[in-house]
């Protein structure tokens, strides 16, 4: 059986043109889901807190986030009681091309 080593971005491995944006959104959606679960919120309660309809939140938590901006997802995190910090620095990996990364504390 042959295996192919993938990158750290499954969306890039699958050939999505917006792979980096999709990965960032997936990471943000995952963090939103973790917080909702940790706080034991129902989707209705969480939707009220983040200011979006419950069906849209449900889709986001299931990975359907194409119609939701990164800015909206960051806003969801702040409404759920998290601080969001954006740090801009020089590119470390590739000269001339930066990288977006989601880290959580």
Ordered domains of the chain (ranges, CATH) = 11-79 (1.10.260.40)
Q: What is the pLDDT of residue 35?
A: 96
Judged on CB neighbours under 10 Å (0-12, 13-18, 19+), 60 is buried
CA 13 to each of CA 9, 24, 28: distance values in angstroms, whole numbers, following the listed order: 6, 15, 20
Q: What is the pLDDT along the chain (105 residues), one digit of tens a residue?
A: 888 777 788 888 888 888 888 999 999 999 999 999 999 999 999 999 999 999 999 999 999 988 899 999 999 999 999 999 888 877 776 666 776 778 777
Residue 86 has a pLDDT of: 86
Residue 81 region by backbone torsions, left for phi larger than 0, else alpha for psi between -120 and 50, else beta: left
User: Which H/E stretch holds residue 38?
Assistant: helix 19-38
Which residues, 6+ apart, have CB-to-CB distance to 44 below 8 Å? Answer: 54
pLDDT for position 66: 81
What is the reported pTM?
Answer: 0.83
């Amino acid at each position: 059986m042959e295996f192919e080593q993938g990158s750290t971005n499954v969306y890039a491995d699958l050939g999505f043109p917006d792979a980096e944006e999709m990965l960032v959104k997936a990471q943000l959606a995952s963090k939103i889901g973790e917080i909702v679960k940790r706080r034991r919120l129902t989707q209705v309660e969480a939707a009220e807190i983040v200011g979006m309809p419950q069906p849209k939140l449900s889709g986001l938590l299931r990975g359907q986030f194409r119609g939701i901006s990164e800015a909206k997802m960051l806003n969801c995190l702040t409404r759920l009681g998290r601080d969001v910090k954006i740090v801009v620095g020089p590119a470390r990996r590739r000269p001339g091309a930066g990288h977006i990364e989601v880290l959580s504390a």
